[in-house]
Structure 1
């Protein structure tokens, strides 16, 4: 029987209980983090940024709550042109101005990074998808192509279970409790991956970043908020959009992806049939995103 425990086995594990191979097994080490920069924005908040690739078009990538550059980079691995990754306020090395913050503040962060980089295309994951929706409500023609990955909330607040899980993450990081952080982060992994070399490598990378950089208190109110007063505000968006959802994901209900795709005039919806598809369907996801953005 496999189980999760933290800290990890000292020999690099993972280990299993009961009969079976007992030799140390180590996963491929995580790649070193690339050198990022802090950029000033017109609204006075310095944001951590990484630019990769070259040429046009330029695509900006917006991450989810408690995530960052490292977790969004894989989505752009086959996207042509320049790729601009950044950390929202309160994440990584980005500034954390006095809170509380709203999706309007996050939309300002996203707009500033997109404008500074000359981005014509945008990718938003979870919280980043909400910030992208908020930006488009004010500027529906800002981008030429759009990808919404696991949108979590539109004009109706998150459910209590989702809010609690996000609150648990913020509390664990605030308390610098590695075990509690690991328990919450491990829920991001499919059960079959959690006690594998790849799963441990992912956990270590996420914990190193979260316990080093922390998450600002100003993020605590965001799980209670919505980016839009009414989803009909997106009716003026004319850019082609790809909306990716998933059945059975408590943090990102499939009906939110359905509603977003219905609200966007030129949207294509794809719904995966089980959580963890970013691990189990990695090649399909990579091709789906790159084919759409490179089109």
Structure 2
């Protein structure tokens, strides 16, 4: 597993990215979190291995557990797919983490929106082509309109295209949603730590209703932002909210 450890001291927090994401996408979320921080790439992403598939969320939970156990992490943050993998881990071992943050959690029931399916299919096809222009078109579609054609947008686009051309994405990622991420959602009620769930309105890939549902199951603190692309539109508030929760 490709990993990056930053910071010093305790506690240790592990950061799990979303589908087709990478370490650079989770680092801003931990920039103000105290202690050591371990960022990693799930199987099929970056320089991490891609064992033969198909894969399921039990496999991703094993990736997350392996990194967390090796690092001695007591806290965890999961984004989208990473949040679903974290939920799967918690259904198996509800006492594994003291605190968890679920940011834009993905649905756990095995069903994905048409928008999510189209996004992944387009991205996988563009990476398979190896053509920078095709990859750039797929990545640019994920940026909010206000960010496109700005220096920040161009910098992000260039970095993502370079990373995807260099490291690629495993085709097995398309097999993940063939079954529910967790065997029984009610098992999440066994979690005895503290949880923070962060969702937003207007995101068809990460419905706010799922954030609300998970917050209820986990007995978590809940924050619903008023529009999507939270990392672009509310970056400072998001960073402060996460660090305040994990540093308390």
TM class, shorter-length: over 0.9
For 1:126 and 1:149, the matched residues in 2 are separated by 6
Cα offset, 1:225, TM superposition: 3.8
| 1:285 matched residue in structure 2 | 238
| 1:90 matched residue in structure 2 | 44
| Equivalent pair of 1:163/1:223 in contact (CA under 8 Å) | no
| 1:62 matched residue in structure 2 | 16
Cα offset, 1:217, TM superposition: 1.8
| 2:30 matched residue in structure 1 | 76
| Equivalent pair of 1:158/1:224 in contact (CA under 8 Å) | no
Cα offset, 1:143, TM superposition: 0.1
| Equivalent pair of 2:110/2:177 in contact (CA under 8 Å) | no
- Determine which structure has more spread, i.e. the larger CA radius of gyration: 1
- Residue by residue over 1:125-184, the C-alpha shift from the partner in whole angstroms, topping out at 9 and shown as x without a partner, is 011001000100100010000000000111241122211211211121122132232222
| 1:272 matched residue in structure 2 | 225
- Residue by residue over 1:15-51, the C-alpha shift from the partner in whole angstroms, topping out at 9 and shown as x without a partner, is xxxxxxxxxxxxxxxxxxxxxxxxxxxxxxxx00100
RMSD: 1.1
Give the paired residue count: 248
Which of 107, 127, 132 is 1:178 aligned to? 132
- Residue by residue over 1:65-87, the C-alpha shift from the partner in whole angstroms, topping out at 9 and shown as x without a partner, is 11111111110000000000000
Cα offset, 1:218, TM superposition: 1.6
For 2:204 and 2:125, the matched residues in 1 are separated by 19
| 1:135 matched residue in structure 2 | 89
- TM-score by length of structure 1 reads 0.82
Unaligned runs of 5+ in 1: 1-46
- TM-score by length of structure 2 reads 0.97
RCO higher in structure (CA 8 A, sep ≥6): 2
